Structure 1
Amino acid sequence: MRGEANGPGEIQIYAVEESGPASATCVIRCVGGVVRSGRWYAGGSGSAPILLDRIERYGRPVDSIDPPHSARVRFSGAGVAGPAGAVTVVGVDRIAG
């Protein structure tokens, strides 16, 4: 679905700027679809989904970004300790539990 405007957003994480037990702030690039605030994302290898709860471009909040734009984002959720630099995560439906 890479590049489809209505497909799940695909994010490449370039750097983790801040990380804690409940959230992580990362510099990302949208490499496919549309990345939206409030959407769940997951990497490979059975990692827990993470919620993208804020997107910021040039110091201002935005609701979404599309390829090839970059942004600073905040993730939260049980899988927040998993993402690191040079990882790609893809939008997913929230999994109950």
Structure 2
Amino acid sequence: MVTEPVRGRLQIYSVEERGAGYATCIVRCVGGVARTGQRFNAVADSSGKEVSITLDKIIRYGRTVGFIDPPHNAKVEFSGPGVIVLTRGVIAVSEDL
């Protein structure tokens, strides 16, 4: 039996900092495994527009790590023009497995 890999899903708890093309957020992993370097899709609540962002860094307990899995929280850094849609409650889903 072949099982389908589960895409990483990160729910935004808060946006701590945002600038031109980057955002630092507190997230909770609500499914799969999210890894640094992965591309994620997120949908803006107001417009319904889907955007693509990259997960650049994951920090847990003050240490940089390579992945996060459920039900853990972390501070993360995203990049890409799509970071503008990141607000509390938005779920970013990984593109690649």
TM-score by length of 2: 0.86
Give, in angstroms, the shift of residue 5 of structure 1: 9.1
Aligned to 1:48: 51
Equivalent in the alignment of 2:17: 18
Residue 48 of structure 1, CA deviation: 1.7
SS of 1:24 mapped into structure 2: strand
**Larger Rg, first or second structure (1 or 2):** 2
RMSD of Structure 2 on Structure 1 (CA): 1.6
Report % sequence identity: 48
- Secondary structure of 1:81 counterpart: helix
User: What is the alpha-carbon distance in structure 1 between the residues aligned to residue 12 and residue 4 of structure 2?
Assistant: 20
The alpha-carbon deviation at position 82 of structure 1 amounts to 1.0
User: Match for 2:65: what amino acid?
Assistant: V
Choose from 61, 65, 70 the match for 1:67: 70
Distance 1:61 1:41 in 2: 19
2:11 counterpart of 1:8: no
- 3-state DSSP of counterpart to 2:85: coil
Which whole-Å CA distance do the structure 1 matches of 2:64 and 2:4 have between them? 20
Larger relative helix fraction:
2
What TM-score results when the alignment is normalised by the length of structure 1? 0.86
1:13-32 Cα distance to aligned partner (Å, 9 max, x none): 00000001120000000000
| Structure 2 gap ranges (5+) | none
